[in-house]
């Protein structure tokens, strides 16, 4: 989260002012060189235009920074009026493609919003969305993930399950997590990706089951959630099918103790029987690993089958789907059915184990 606010300082001008000065200097040199051709004349004209634009941007940045400093002096550094001022300044940096400076200012706006409207104020949503967009431009995916979770967390406190705003927040959060899994944006290990997929599958299942109990929630509004869950389950099932059974934890003990005896001659020259205990691999352990893999794969293929049934029921009973939505849903069902059948065949092939 953003750090405590400090009075605005000129470092916020940062990269944009540096770029402006660089452009200004370069074009000034070009403008001073004699023109000997039409190309040079065009370059000179372009330089003059760029110089004028750089000066205009510099003046605008300085004016905005000065305005915020004046507001801080007159109103205090936490006054609600600063929210819009910071957000407008940040948007100006965004237009200049200086995303780092925009993020700094949006973060300040978010902190003031949380101070003035509470931790769960709706005024935070557009600021969080802007932070997500700008961090995405810089491919700061860890920051985007934190912001997506914050956005959903606030939505879950502000809205109730039947509210369309809450369902939209669910779709946005789930869509982001699916992208994290598919593109591995957070550089997770294989196990980490599976944990993310399992969490997402459970997240969707809880919400779908709760939503189905509300008579005022239209089944059509659950389509994105149901399909998203099926994609998380497909990820888990595919991973299980491609993973050697030896990577799964068996249910039987890996090692067992065995007693072994042999005849030995003691110090008196007598032959006596001597026994000792050794630890050996349990012959049932490998089979329990195969069973564990089969159970994991079966669990998620069944959930995919359940999602297909849910989608098919909505397709067959809904009167609100357009022809295009109906065709898209049919295509999704056919795709899931094909994937599910392939995974079931894989589960029955012992060669994969």
Mean pLDDT of the chain: 86
Residue 280: per-residue pLDDT = 87
Q: Is the pLDDT reported for residue 318 higher than 80?
A: yes
Q: Mean pLDDT across the stretch 20-38?
A: 45
Poorest-pLDDT segment among 48-57, 156-165, 238-247: 48-57
Residue with the two structure tokens 């300082």: 9
How large a percentage of the chain has pLDDT more than 90? Answer: 57
pLDDT recorded at residue 324? 93
What average pLDDT does this structure show over 257-263?
Answer: 88
Confidence of residue 268 (pLDDT cuts 50, 70, 90): confident
pLDDT digits (tens, 9 = 90+) for 221-259: 999 999 999 999 999 998 888 888 888 888 888 888 888
Work out the average pLDDT over 260-289: 88
Provide the pLDDT confidence category of residue 20 given band limits of 50, 70 and 90: very low
pLDDT at 57: 87
**SS3 state of residue 276:** strand
Q: How many Cα atoms occupy the beta-carbon half-sphere of 107 within 13 Å?
A: 19
pLDDT, position 129: 97
On the question of pLDDT at 6 being above 50, the answer is: no
Long-range contacts of 96-102 (CB under 8 A, 24+ apart): 96/16, 96/19, 96/57, 97/137, 98/14, 98/15, 98/16, 98/19, 99/134, 99/135, 99/137, 99/138, 100/14, 100/15, 100/138, 101/12, 101/13, 101/14, 101/15, 101/16, 102/130, 102/134
pTM: 0.76
Mean pLDDT is lowest, of 47-56, 270-279, 316-325, for: 47-56
Q: Phi/psi zone of residue 265: left (φ > 0), alpha (ψ -120 to 50 degrees), beta?
A: beta
Q: Per-residue confidence at 348, pLDDT binned at 50, 70, 90?
A: low
pLDDT of residue 26: 41
- Residue 81: what pLDDT? 95
Nearest to 148 by CA among 122, 121, 174: 174
Least confident of 64-78, 157-171, 271-285: 271-285
3-state DSSP assignment of residue 265: strand
Above 90 in pLDDT, residue 311?
yes
Average pLDDT over residues 278-289: 88
Which pLDDT value is given to residue 349?
66
Is 70 exceeded by the pLDDT of residue 12?
no
* pLDDT at 79 exceeding the cut of 90: yes
Q: Pick 284 or 39 by higher pLDDT.
A: 284
pLDDT of residue 13: 43
Residue 212 CB neighbours (<10 A): 12
Instruction: Return the minimum-mean-pLDDT range out of 141-145, 167-171, 239-243.
Output: 239-243
In order, the DSSP letters of 93-130 are: HHHTT-HHHHHHHHHHHHHHHHHHH-TT-TTHHHHHHH
| pLDDT-wise least confident of 30-34, 94-98, 192-196 | 30-34
C-beta separation of 104 from 10 below 8 A: no
C-alpha to C-alpha distance for 233 and 214, rounded to whole angstroms: 24
């Amino acid at each position: 989260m953003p750090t405590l606010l400090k009075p605005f300082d000129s470092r916020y001008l940062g990269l944009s002012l540096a770029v402006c000065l660089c452009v200004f200097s370069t074009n000034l040199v070009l403008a001073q060189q004699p023109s000997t051709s039409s190309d040079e004349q065009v370059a000179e004209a372009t330089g003059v235009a760029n110089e004028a634009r750089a000066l205009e941007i510099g003046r605008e940045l300085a004016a905005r920074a000065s305005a915020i400093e004046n507001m801080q002096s007159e109103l205090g550094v936490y006054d609600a009026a600063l929210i819009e001022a910071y957000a407008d300044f940040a948007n100006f940096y965004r237009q200049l493609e200086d995303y780092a400076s925009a993020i700094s200012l949006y973060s300040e706006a978010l902190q003031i919003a949380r101070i003035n409207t509470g931790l769960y104020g709706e005024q935070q949503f557009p600021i969080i969305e802007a932070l997500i967009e700008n961090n995405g431009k810089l491919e700061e995916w860890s920051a985007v993930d934190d912001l997506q979770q914050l956005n959903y967390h606030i939505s879950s406190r502000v809205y109730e399950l039947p509210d369309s705003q809450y369902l939209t927040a669910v779709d946005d959060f789930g869509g982001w997590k699916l992208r994290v899994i598919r593109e591995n944006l957070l550089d997770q290990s294989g196990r980490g990706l599976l944990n993310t997929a399992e969490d997402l599958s459970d997240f969707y299942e809880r919400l779908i089951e709760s939503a189905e109990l509300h008579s005022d929630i239209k089944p059509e509004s659950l389509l994105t959630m149901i399909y998203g869950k099926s994609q998380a389950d497909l990820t888990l099932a595919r991973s299980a099918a491609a993973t050697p059974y030896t990577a799964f934890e068996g249910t039987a003990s890996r090692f067992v103790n065995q007693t072994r005896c042999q005849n030995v001659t003691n110090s008196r020259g007598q032959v006596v029987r001597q026994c000792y205990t050794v630890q050996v691999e349990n012959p049932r352990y490998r089979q329990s690993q195969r069973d564990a893999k089969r159970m994991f794969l079966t669990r998620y293929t069944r959930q995919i089958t359940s999602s297909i049934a849910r989608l098919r029921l909505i397709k067959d009973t809904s009167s609100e789907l357009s022809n295009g939505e109906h065709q898209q849903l049919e295509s999704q069902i056919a795709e899931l059915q094909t994937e599910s059948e392939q995974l079931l065949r894989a589960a029955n092939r012992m060669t994969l184990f």
